[in-house]
Structure 1
């Protein structure tokens, strides 16, 4: 599946930030480098090594910035619950661990394991292509 939604991946340090077609950051990907040694990770990036997966963090909804009445807040919570349920189903379908949730940059962020069907080189083009399938599905499921 090729992307029609215009995802863009940009490396910053050891993470790869993901932007939508409107150039809004929607999350980031941290490859499973197989090591925590910074020098070794830099070598892997420089050598455009390949990875089988890693951790994908998606900003799935902004935190409310204004006071809300009870009904509107419950509607927001229901929408959040629906998105988290879809992420969990996505992970379960692939036999991956449960996602974790946190607040990051005034958004609810979900962190999930990602495994590619094949090894993917640590290049902008290769990672964009590999992540596009996941991102397209998340968009189709109305998670992002």
Structure 2
């Protein structure tokens, strides 16, 4: 159901319909010297080094009201904000139930959307190979999908 594509130091996560479902940034640890980080990370991927986890970023809520040059009426805005509040409530319930540390930011690809990032700690270190990472992330992605959050 999910597919990973690597780009530089992160992986894009796609769903069955080839839509971006999120991003995964592996925890590469402390890299020295910092000015050689790109080269070190590239070598880590070539060597299929193992990582302890990383950070998963997924879309949280799309408002449907920002970034439009069109005039909006109050009913339209209220409807979209109500929908956003329902989605926010579902996320809040999920995050509280699972006691998850997280960060919420404006999505870097869409200023009308908030994204949610949370740390992922693997049970055992996982090779920097997309199939290994995907099989480890799949249960989390499937759970988010089942809950209607992804």
Q: TM tier, shorter chain?
A: 0.7 to 0.9
Moved over 4 A (4+): none
2:82 aligned to 63, 72, 75, which one?
75
**Shift of residue 90, structure 1, vs aligned partner:** 5.8
TM-score, normalised with respect to structure 2:
0.79
Range that drifts further, 118-127 or 62-71 = 62-71
Q: How far apart are the structure 2 equivalents of 1:74 and 1:60?
A: 14
Q: CA deviation at 1:120?
A: 1.1
Please state if 1:140 is matched with 2:140. no
Which residue is equivalent to 1:21? Answer: 16
Q: Secondary structure at the match of 2:64?
A: coil
Please say if residues 23 and 57 of structure 2, whose CA atoms lie closer than 8 Å, have aligned partners that are also in contact: yes
- 1:76 deviates by 2.0
Check 1:7–1:90 CA distance in 2 against 1; reply closer, same or farther (3 A cut).
Answer: farther
The structure with more radius of gyration: 2
Gap change, CA 1:120 and 1:129, over 3 Å in 2: same
- Structure 1 unaligned runs (5+)? 1-5
Aligned match for 1:125, one of 112, 124, 131: 131
Question: Would the aligned equivalents of 2:9 and 2:41 in 1 still touch at CA under 8 Å?
Answer: yes
Instruction: Report the alpha carbon displacement of residue 80 of structure 1 after superposing the two structures with TM.
Output: 3.1
**Structure-to-structure mapping, 1:36-51, within 5 angstroms:** 36=31, 37-51=37-51
* Alignment RMSD: 2.0
Give the Cα separation in 2 of the matches to 1:73 and 1:138: 22
Identify which of 100, 108, 111 aligns with 2:103. 100
Equivalent residue number for residue 35 of structure 1: 30
Q: 103-112 or 35-44, which moves further after superposition?
A: 35-44
Contact 1:32 1:55 in 2 (8 A): yes
Provide the rounded CA distance (Å) in 1 between the counterparts of 2:59 and 2:117. Answer: 9
Matches within 5 A, 1:48-59: 48-59=48-59
Q: Alignment length, in residue pairs?
A: 135
